[in-house]
Amino acid sequence: MSKSTIDTVAYKPKSVYRTYIAATPDEVWRALIDPEFTKQYFFGLATEVEPRAGGRFRLLWPDGREHITGEVVQWTPPRRLCVSWDIQNMPPFSELPTCLITWDIEADGAATRLTMTESHDWDVPHEIMAGGEEGWPKIISGLKSLLETGKALSFDMSVGPPPEFVAAVEKAAKEKPWMRK
Amino acid sequence: MDLVFKALADESRRLLLDRLRADNGQTLNQLCAGLPGMTRQAVSKHLVILEEANLIAAIKRGREKLHYLNPVPIHEIAERWIGKFERSRLDALSQLKQALERRDE
């Protein structure tokens, strides 16, 4: 049994996103790990997951560049997928420390409950969490729509992150408050 | 979506959402301590309604139950009635409003 090298104890859940999907847990699981699915709802990004704890995890742009790199922390199909999350090639966002993204899948009557938890090991400023709260619901609603209707929602890539989000990340990248632990 | 609108049609429940917006991931005890005007029973009852509407997502962490503001249903409402082109116009209007109001301060 392989194990992840990430010490999860210091990480605390800071944001939680939840939706109910008219699909089976297996279908929801597949939508999380199959690049043909993620490309349709995750801003065109293809996922690449080694199916074991300690395995490699990446999200890639259509041209093959890395957007997110990390490690599989927990691999329990079709219940829980937890990965570590490092943003690449996107300053100032790529300066932020590693966070954990956990997907929990539970059958709920005829539907499936999908919960995403974003955990951090430092005191993340409100503006940074609020920035994530602009983007994640689009991804999660897109995933739901794709599974329920076979069609993904369109996403407008010309709309970048809100300026106050970028400013908060720039400030954090400069001051590195996570070093003061 | 009915559940969302019913849940939002109450000032105390909107106040609870505001408390979570300011400080996400609180226990029932923490929420009660921040709202001395509301009984524990009332807070508890409102949390159930908010959770049923999926406006709050609760997770277990050790022995604690932590409550989070779930932005997904509100996003879905915005998607349904406000298209992306209207949104950028609304953003511009809202920024203008903020700028004008700031000048008044």
Position B88 pLDDT exceeds 70: no
Residue of chain B nearest A137, judged by CA positions: B72
Helix axes A126-149, A25-33, angle to 10 degrees: 120
Q: Which of B15-29, B39-53, B90-104 has the lowest mean pLDDT?
A: B90-104
Position B57 pLDDT exceeds 70: yes
* pLDDT value for B87: 60
The average confidence (pLDDT) of chain A is 94
The reply to whether CATH 3.30.530.20 applies to domain A13-180 is: yes
Work out the minimum CA distance from A71 to partner chain B, whole angstroms.
Answer: 22
Does B84 sit within 8 Å of A156, measured CB to CB? yes
Position A1 pLDDT exceeds 80: no
Residue A73 CA from chain centroid, whole number: 13
Does B84 sit within 8 Å of A13, measured CB to CB? no
Q: Which CATH architecture has domain B2-70?
A: Orthogonal Bundle (1.10)
Residues 6 or more apart in contact with residue B81 via CB below 8 angstroms: none
In chain A, how long is the greatest CA-to-CA distance? 48
The average pLDDT across B2-31 equals 96
Q: pLDDT above 90 covers what percent of chain A?
A: 86
Position B18 pLDDT exceeds 70: yes
pLDDT in tens, A123-171: 999 999 999 998 999 999 999 999 999 988 777 777 788 899 999 999 9
Domain ranges of chain A: 13-180
Residue A4 CA from chain centroid, whole number: 18
Work out the minimum CA distance from A97 to partner chain B, whole angstroms.
Answer: 20
Flag whether residue A98 sits within 8 Å of chain B, measured between CB atoms.
no
Higher pLDDT, A152 or A114: A114
Here the ipTM equals 0.92
